[in-house]
């Protein structure tokens, strides 16, 4: 259903708009999580863009529908567990999209009208299909590399980025020409020529192949063992400066790219200047022509206003900069026959339908299967077995069924597809919350999802059981050693049987059993996250742990009690209660407790009387007596909020050494700035001392 943003809105239509906006937010948030966290994209770029544009139009027409958690207010998704969190000093925001010349002309006109100018030079860059990265150099030496994550917070992947040969470990040039601190931003990718080789190696090792080069790049960059990343032929193009400290920035984006290249950062040689719309469109046409000859994927062209002072004047609107836009290429399409509809069950129990197709060539690749997204999408577009359908490769990689072909002719006995009400693997009745498009099996012992769940359970961000990786997580269930999570803690009874397994000698078996035993001492929040409950990430697991203190407490929590937790919304609350309404899941908790896996969170509740309760802090710069993470944890323990960006709603900026741009912004916004000793006094005694010291 599409809504006319210019139409008047009677009460009934507003109700329809509210329902549609809620559905769009759920679908986009799910797509973001799958794309950025699980590396299992469900929507192609065109489908995602269509949903986002519709939601933007709805919220523009009905400002009352805009919510703080709307995907229009944020970028991407939160960082996945397993890596330290990095707060970006300057947010890594995304770009708005246009799809034709009219859309681009409208964007350019808005920018010029805002600036009250007749023209503004631009720079055109290929939009690389990779993973955005920010690398900080201090005194010319690489200090930290972080993924974009949700734009505010990313993952620290420094050790892995050091293995990428096109990334300089030390910037080149005379020291006086290199800023004391500078952040370079760019895109990590896997060359197309290396993608097939990597998948051949994975298949030979009986490891699932990557879906596309972008997923391969993401998976390679986020290996917990950097020696594995070093084996992957990753590459990188740099396209911007995040921030500069102690030196003047170049005056234009073009000069910025030249400076980065001079320092040893690789820039894309295709990049070109443009002074008019016609020159931009010629550049886009050229990009389309050379696309097939490139050794990396592109899905469009990024156009930026060249002058950095004009960029600063233009600023941002919502999540997008006014000074840049992405011109997206259309996806290639073809027609074929939908032979059969199948359903897969994923780690979180999501039932994902896919189409078995009569093989057809799309964009030079033979496609025999494609995603159908979810139950609602099948019903909305009325896909049926035997239909003639249109398919496209999402992002030129992931095949998806778009629609029923215009000339489709159905036989008289054609029937609508009936989505299974029970899990095709274990037979458990499926659930679908009102605000979520995905249908789930909530049986934690479901065989189809258990192998991936077991690997997640043992991952570093969860219970950190070394030795229980991907291969072992597949072998143990298939060979009958474990059928649910509790069985992991019974493996010591089968040591002799484990010794018989291939590549599992005495040392490896004993180390695995020791790691399992050590995992008993992990905190409750880690265990809750490890269980793989849909919607429960590492942060929400901490909230549950502090509120309910034990596995039993969480298991027996009511939906009302869950909704009372700041940060837990109706979708997560409903999903959690659905999970624990399944007898197998309640039994799993009882079994874990009986086996001695029963961590208790005795962290005291934040004092409602402490002045930090409900107060918003931003911590920046280098602190002497604690890390920034420790300071943020201290704030949270007292009921305060630790955020990554300075806004008018920020109460205090805690400024350490070399505080940088956040300090300047706090001063502009008249946010109270305190130093480390004042912060400690506030945490300990409940009040900020009156200076004699300065506030910075």
* Catalytic center residues: 127
What's 350-393 look like in SS3? EEEEEEEEEEEEECCEEEEEEECCCHHHHHHHCCCCCCEEEEEE
C-beta separation of 181 from 246 below 8 A: yes
> 618, 680, 572, 696: which is closest to 152 by C-alpha?
618
C-beta separation of 71 from 94 below 8 A: no
C-beta separation of 523 from 574 below 8 A: no
Beta strands 652-655 and 616-620, pairing class: parallel
The DSSP secondary-structure symbol of 207 reads: -
| 521 to 464, 516, 525, 600: CA distances (angstroms) | 11, 10, 11, 10
What percent of the chain is helix, strand and coil (3-state, nearest 5)?
A: 40, 20, 40
C-beta separation of 221 from 234 below 8 A: yes
The DSSP secondary-structure symbol of 596 reads: T
> 525, 498, 494: which is closest to 509 by C-alpha?
498
Return the SS3 of 672.
Answer: strand
Q: Which helix (H) or strand (E) holds 489?
A: none
Using CA atoms, how far apart are residues 185 and 244, in angstroms rounded to an integer? 12
Using CA atoms, how far apart are residues 322 and 112, in angstroms rounded to an integer? 10
C-beta separation of 658 from 245 below 8 A: yes
Using CA atoms, how far apart are residues 31 and 37, in angstroms rounded to an integer? 10
C-beta separation of 653 from 671 below 8 A: yes
C-beta separation of 270 from 287 below 8 A: yes
C-beta separation of 77 from 32 below 8 A: yes
C-beta separation of 358 from 336 below 8 A: yes
In total, the chain counts a number of residues equal to 696
> 429, 399, 141, 392: which is closest to 263 by C-alpha?
141
Return the SS3 of 406.
Answer: coil
Whole-angstrom Cα Rg for the chain: 26
C-beta separation of 355 from 372 below 8 A: yes
Q: In 459-518, which ranges are continuous DSSP H helix?
A: 470-478, 495-498, 506-518
Using CA atoms, how far apart are residues 505 and 94, in angstroms rounded to an integer? 49
* Angle made by CA atoms 588, 30, 212, in degrees to the nearest 5: 100
């Amino acid at each position: 259903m599409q809504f006319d943003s210019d139409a008047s809105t009677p009460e009934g239509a507003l109700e329809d708009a509210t329902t549609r906006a809620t559905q769009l937010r759920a679908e986009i948030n799910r797509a973001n999580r799958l794309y950025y966290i699980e590396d299992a994209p469900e929507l192609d770029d065109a489908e995602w863009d269509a949903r986002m544009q519709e939601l933007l139009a709805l919220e523009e027409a009905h400002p009352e529908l805009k919510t703080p958690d709307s995907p229009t207010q944020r970028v991407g998704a939160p960082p996945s567990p397993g890596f330290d969190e990095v707060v970006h000093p300057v947010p890594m925001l995304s770009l708005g999209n246009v799809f034709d010349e009219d859309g681009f002309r409208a964007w350019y006109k808005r920018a010029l009208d805002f600036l009250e100018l007749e023209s503004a030079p631009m720079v055109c860059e290929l939009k690389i299909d990779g993973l955005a990265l920010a690398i900080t150099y201090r005194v010319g030496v690489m200090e930290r590399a972080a993924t974009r994550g949700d734009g505010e917070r990313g993952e620290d992947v420094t050790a892995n980025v050091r293995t990428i040969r096109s990334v300089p470990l030390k910037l080149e040039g005379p020291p006086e020409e290199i800023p004391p601190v500078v952040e370079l931003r760019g895109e990590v990718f896997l060359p197309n020529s290396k993608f097939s080789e990597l998948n051949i190696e994975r298949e030979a090792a009986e490891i699932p192949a990557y879906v596309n080069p972008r997923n391969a790049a993401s998976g390679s960059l986020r290996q917990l063992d950097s020696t594995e990343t070093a084996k992957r032929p990753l590459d990188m193009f740099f396209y911007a400066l995040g921030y500069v400290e102690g030196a003047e920035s170049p005056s234009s984006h073009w000069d910025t790219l030249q400076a980065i290249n001079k320092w040893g950062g690789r820039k894309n040689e295709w990049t070109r200047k443009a002074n008019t719309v016609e020159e931009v469109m010629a550049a886009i046409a050229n990009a389309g022509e050379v696309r097939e000859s490139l050794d990396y994927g592109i899905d469009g062209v990024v156009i930026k206003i060249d002058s950095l002072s004009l960029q600063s004047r233009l600023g941002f609107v919502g999540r997008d900069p006014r000074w840049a836009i992405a011109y997206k290429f259309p996806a290639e399409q073809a027609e074929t026959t939908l032979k059969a509809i199948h359903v897969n069950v994923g780690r979180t129990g999501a039932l994902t339908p896919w189409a078995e197709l009569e093989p057809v060539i799309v964009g030079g690749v033979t496609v025999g299967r494609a995603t159908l997204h979810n139950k609602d999408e099948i019903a909305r577009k009325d896909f049926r077995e035997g239909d003639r359908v249109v398919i496209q490769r999402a992002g030129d990689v992931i095949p998806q069924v778009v629609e029923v072909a215009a000339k489709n002719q159905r036989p008289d006995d054609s029937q609508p597809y009936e989505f299974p009400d029970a899990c095709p693997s274990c037979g458990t009745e499926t659930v679908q919350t009102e605000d979520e498009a995905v249908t789930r099996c909530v049986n934690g012992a479901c065989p189809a999802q258990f192998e991936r769940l077991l690997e997640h359970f043992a991952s570093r961000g969860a219970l950190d059981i070394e030795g229980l990786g991907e291969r072992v997580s597949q072998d143990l269930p298939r060979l009958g050693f474990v059928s649910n999570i509790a069985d992991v803690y019974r493996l010591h009874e089968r040591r002799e049987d484990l010794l018989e397994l291939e590549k599992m000698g005495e040392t490896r078996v004993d180390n695995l059993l020791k790691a399992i035993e050590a995992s008993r001492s992990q905190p409750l929040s880690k265990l809750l996250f490890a269980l793989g409950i849909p919607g429960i990430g590492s942060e929400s697991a901490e909230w549950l742990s502090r509120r309910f203190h034990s596995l039993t407490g969480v298991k027996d929590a009511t939906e009302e009690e869950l909704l009372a937790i700041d940060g837990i919304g109706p979708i997560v609350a409903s999903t959690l209660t659905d999970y624990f309404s399944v007898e197998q899941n309640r039994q799993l908790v009882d079994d874990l407790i009986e086996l001695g896996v029963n961590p208790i969170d005795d962290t005291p509740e934040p004092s409602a009387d402490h002045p930090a309760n409900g107060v918003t802090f931003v911590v920046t710069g280098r602190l002497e007596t604690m890390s920034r993470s420790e300071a943020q944890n201290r704030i949270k323990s007292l009921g305060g909020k630790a955020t990554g960006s300075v806004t008018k709603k920020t109460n205090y900026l805690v400024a350490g050494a070399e505080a940088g741009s956040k300090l300047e912004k706090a001063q502009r916004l008249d946010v109270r700035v305190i130093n480390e000793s004042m912060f400690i006094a506030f945490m300990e005694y409940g009040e900020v001392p009156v200076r004699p010291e300065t506030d910075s």
